Amino acid sequence: MNTFPFSDWIVAAIFVLCIAVTVTGALIAAFTKRIIRSVSGLAVCCLGLAGLFYFLNSPFLALMEILIYIGAVCVTVVFGIMLTEPDEPAPENFKRPFPVISPLISLAIGGAVFVGIAWLSFKQAWTAPATVTNDGSIESIGKALLTTYSVPFELISLVLLVAILGALVIARSGRTKE
Amino acid sequence: MNPAQLYSQPAPYLIVAAFLLAIGIFGLIRRRTLIGMLISGELIFAAASLNFMALNHFTAPDKSVGQIAVLFIMGIAAAEVAIALSIIIAVYRNYRSIVSKELNQLKG
């Protein structure tokens, strides 16, 4: 079946690489001090996530992840960074009230969420469906978007339009006041 | 379980999604500026998308439903980022700061 030698191990290595890129990007996004590095970490994380989507038989969503998250969301956040002063304040003029116990508490909350959900998803025996009615190709996505999900599809374009108009109004209102 | 077939199991995807959710919540607690909290919120959105995709691929009979849900999540996330950034810019104009502790006044 496999014509290329070790091809399944190469695929497994690419899969582990995608997971490593996702996890590393998330760690960069959450732990760096400067916000511009955090946005770069989010972009790296979305790149790894696109790889995981590709492994889940959805190249369309992988492309959309790169296009929307890296191309739109991260670039928009970078513009927001350029217009504001987003870096974390220096520690000497911004004292935390509990400098030792508060990172431990937030680590404990994050760790509890991770361990709990990971244990649940590892313990659960996920059963494959008995019958597959749809293979999830791009053609079937397009048909479903124009028939079954046509109303949400139109509504989300309306939501985007209203969001753009609202963003313009909100960002402009401060300027006329001064 | 063959380790070379790890990508055909649902558990690695779900554990990565749980990690993204946990680190998003951690960042949401720890970050002190509004844009940092927004980025952490995006990580939580990414965790939700990965969960939808994994469970859709491994347990749903109709493989296109989860992909459409993730498309809608992406659209909502884009709209949310636009609105949130415009609010952040308006806040920065009025306060000269987006550190969440200094935003302690309401105009009533």
Give the C-alpha distances (Å, rounded to integers) separating A148 from A6, A141, A153, B49: 43, 10, 10, 21
Please say if the pLDDT value at position A169 is more than 60: yes
Q: What mean pLDDT do residues A128-136 have?
A: 82
In this prediction, residue A50 carries a pLDDT of 94
Alpha-carbon gap, residue A66 to A122, rounded angstroms: 28
How many residues would you count in chain A?
178
- pLDDT tens sequence across A73-85: 999 999 988 888 7
- Residue of B6, B26, B80 to mutate when probing chain A, most A C-beta within 10 A: B26
In this prediction, residue A153 carries a pLDDT of 92
> What torsion, rounded to 10 degrees, do the Cα atoms B91, A177, A82, B48 define?
40
Alpha-carbon gap, residue A152 to A56, rounded angstroms: 24
pTM for the model stands at 0.89
pLDDT-based confidence at residue A96 (cuts at 50, 70, 90): low
Please say if the pLDDT value at position B4 is more than 80: no
Cβ separation A26–B5 shorter than 8 A: no
- Mean pLDDT of all residues belonging to chain B: 87
- Interface check for A13 against chain B (CB to CB < 8 A): the answer is no
The ipTM estimated for the assembled molecules is: 0.89
Please report, rounded to a whole number, the percentage of residues in chain B having pLDDT higher than 90.
51
Q: What mean pLDDT do residues B29-43 have?
A: 90
- pLDDT tens sequence across A7-66: 888 888 999 999 999 999 999 999 888 889 999 999 999 999 999 999 998 999 999 999
- pLDDT tens sequence across A33-48: 888 999 999 999 999 9
Q: Which residues contact A45 (CB under 8 A, 6 or more apart)?
A: A21, A22, A24, A25, A26, A28, A29, B20, B43, B46
In this prediction, residue A89 carries a pLDDT of 65
> Which of 126-165 (A) contact B at CB < 8 A?
126-137, 140-141, 144-145, 149, 152, 156, 159-160, 163-164
In this prediction, residue A146 carries a pLDDT of 92
3-class DSSP state of B31: coil
pLDDT-based confidence at residue B96 (cuts at 50, 70, 90): confident
| Least confident among A122-126, A164-168, B56-60, B104-108 | B104-108
In this prediction, residue A61 carries a pLDDT of 92
In this prediction, residue A116 carries a pLDDT of 92
In this prediction, residue A92 carries a pLDDT of 59
